[in-house]
Amino acid sequence: MTRQRYGDITGRYVIYRGEDAKVEDVQYLNVEEYLKLLDK
């Protein structure tokens, strides 16, 4: 269902309040930094 609506999944991400990190194939992104990137 997701693929039909948004296309192929290219990665797995968690947006949260902690520091950026990568654990196995999941990237954890800091919410404040993520939102700053969207504003560009």
1 located within any domain: no
Structural domain range at position 20: 11-39
* pLDDT value for 3: 84
pLDDT in tens, 1-40: 788 898 998 899 999 999 999 999 999 999 999 999 998 7
4 located within any domain: no
Q: In which element (H, E) is residue 38 found?
A: helix 31-39
Question: What is the Cα–Cα distance from 40 to 8, expressed in whole angstroms?
Answer: 24
34 located within any domain: yes
3 located within any domain: no
18 located within any domain: yes
φ, ψ dihedrals at 18, nearest 5°: -85, -170
* pLDDT value for 40: 76
* pLDDT value for 39: 83
The SS3 call for residue 35 is: helix
6 located within any domain: no
Question: What is the Cα–Cα distance from 35 to 22, expressed in whole angstroms?
Answer: 18
